Amino acid sequence: MISIKVFKINKPEFCLVKTNGMLTEQFIQGLIEETRKVLNQSEKLNAKDLNYLTWKSDTGSWSILECLEHLNLYGDYYLPEIRKAMQQSTAAPEKNVKPGWLGNYFAKSMLPKKKLNKMKTFKDKDPMNLHASLDKEVITIFIRQQYELIELLNEAKGTNLNRIRIKTSISPLLRLKLGDTFHFVINHIIRHMAQISRIEGEIKGMY
């Protein structure tokens, strides 16, 4: 009568690969669920000490804190942009998500592959260019940004994900649909959280 199944809470089951035509509500709930997993991973990191968090395999790679700082730099740009655009729009919500081809491409390209696929970092988003020593405040800010993201996703239920457009950090001329922007931002976070898991694996291998 009793069946005990152990399901792991951090399994990435919702990769949001095919979003075309998806119900808006389902799309947003999927993104919220992904953000919850990110929050849980960052709470675990918050319990680690600074040596662990700043460890790097070689001088050219990022530490855990540098990965998070990189995400914070993106959050600093995108979260206020999203909020502003949502406040300015009066377009009614639509039932289904219609990704744009570019936004969809950006979002998909962010997802981590089985084998490490290195990507270029824009100079202004590279934590190694900051020349500042990072401390655990980085995690506090990152967690606060995830709360803000959850808040924005909830508010987005009442907006039009297909009509509102967000200027990208690359160029104000390059604009993505709000839905694609959320998708891209969250897949980008997932990408670097996977990188952090890899770093943690390397640390484990050392001891």
Separation CA 59–CA 75 (nearest Å): 25
CB of 154 to other proteins, least distance (A): 4
Cβ closer to other proteins: 106 or 189? 189
Cβ closer to other proteins: 87 or 154? 154
Separation CA 40–CA 46 (nearest Å): 10
Cβ closer to other proteins: 124 or 155? 155
Cβ closer to other proteins: 6 or 116? 6
CB of 153 to other proteins, least distance (A): 6
**Nearest C-alpha neighbor of 166 from the set 74, 47, 84:** 84
Question: What is the contact surface with other proteins in residues (CB under 8 A)?
Answer: 1-7, 9, 28-29, 32-33, 35-36, 39-40, 43-44, 46-47, 147, 150-151, 153-154, 157
CB of 11 to other proteins, least distance (A): 11
Name the phi and psi angles at 109, rounded to 5: -65, -20
Query: Half-sphere exposure of residue 100, counting CA atoms within 13 Å on the CB side?
Result: 19
- Phi-psi bin for 76: left (phi > 0), alpha (psi -120 to 50), beta? alpha
b/e 64-100 (16+ beta carbons within 10 angstroms → b): bbbbbbbbbbbbebbbeebeebbeeeeeeeeebbbbb
CB of 68 to other proteins, least distance (A): 16
Cβ closer to other proteins: 37 or 70? 37
* Terminal Cα-to-Cα distance of the chain (whole angstroms): 43
CB of 100 to other proteins, least distance (A): 24
